[in-house]
Amino acid sequence: MKQTVLLLGSNIDNRLELLASASSLILEQIGPIVAASSIYESDPWGYHSNNPFLNQAVLIRTSFSPEKVLKKCLAIETQLGRTRSKNGTYADRNIDIDILLFEELIISNENLEIPHPRMHQRRFCMEPLVQIAPNWIVPTFQKTTRQILAICPDLSKISISNA
């Protein structure tokens, strides 16, 4: 079994319910969840919206390849009602599932980039990641997630959700 970390996010509809549904579907369709971070709340990153995000990192074990995990994540998003913007810009979304890390792999092709290419720039991503995998070495940086969080340029306010 291989380990991977996914980041779940939602900023419209019933955010907590959507995160819970995504976790259940991940467990059923991809593999067991070994650890889950607290749920964090933050403002949208990269665009303006009045709808704050809830995010949660989950560490899972899977027998699937990274490409198959991506296909399954996209299918789960669709199953939960996600529609993607046609122009590829950031927008509000009911569910988003990103692969942050997959073992110690580095993958870069038109469909998949692992480690996630912008995770080190996003506090809403790094804080939940560090909570569940503080010593995971990110192969593109040869630093632990904790070390990367310490130099994260994003100073956005993020807090553990009380929702």
Catalytic one of 15, 93, 122, 123 = 93
Tokens of 129: 């990641």
Catalytic one of 13, 43, 82, 146 = 82
Q: How far apart are CA 61 and CA 82, in angstroms?
A: 24
Catalytic one of 13, 15, 61, 98 = 98
Contacts of 11 (CB under 8 A, 6+ apart): 44, 49, 51, 52, 53, 54, 92, 93
Q: Which residues pair with 101 in a beta bridge?
A: 5
Choose among 115, 117, 5: nearest CA to 55: 5
Catalytic one of 15, 96, 122, 123 = 96
Q: How far apart are CA 145 and CA 130, in angstroms?
A: 6
Residue 13 known to be catalytic: no
Residue 82 known to be catalytic: yes
Residue 93 known to be catalytic: yes
Residue 84 known to be catalytic: no
Active site positions, annotated: 82, 93, 96, 98
